[in-house]
Amino acid sequence: MKKASDFLQSNLTARLVSVLLAVMLWYVVQSSSTQSISPAALTTTTAVLHGIPIHARISPGMAVLGQNPVKTDVSVSGGLLSVASVQVAYGNLQAVVNARGLKPGVTNCLSR
């Protein structure tokens, strides 16, 4: 059975959370030295994640022969901790386009 100290020393999640908390603390200290902090600034934030791969979800028997674009930018808004946790998972994110039920042919599924 592993000890708690082994868990904290080898767990990547604990390390990422500690780095995230350090960055958030640094942000609060930097903000307080230049201006007053509003509660909204601490609780709500927006981040843009660039280069998120796009995955097409298709019906059985169908195939995607070409896809343009293959990556997109995603804007995430919400609580500071929620947005930060999405940023930590950045490498595992993908945008999913539901193309199920479409008929064969050229279809533009993406809209701006």
What are the residue ranges in the chain where pLDDT is below 70? 1-10, 31-42, 109-112
Please tell me whether residues 8 and 25 are part of one structural domain. yes
Q: Using H for helix, E for strand and C for coil, what is the string for the chain?
A: CCCHHHHHHHCHHHHHHHHHHHHHHHHHHHHHHHCCCCHHHHHEEEEEEEEEEEEEECCCCCCCCCCCCCEEEEEEEEEHHHHHHHHHCHHHCCEEEECCCCCCCCCCCCCC
Please tell me whether residues 9 and 45 are part of one structural domain. no
Q: What is the pTM of this model?
A: 0.51
- Is 111 within a domain? no
Q: What is the pLDDT of residue 85?
A: 79
Q: What is the pLDDT of residue 88?
A: 79
pLDDT digits (tens, 9 = 90+) for 33-50: 555 555 655 678 888 989
- Is 63 within a domain? yes
Please tell me whether residues 52 and 21 are part of one structural domain. no
Look up the domain containing 22 and give its range. Answer: 1-37
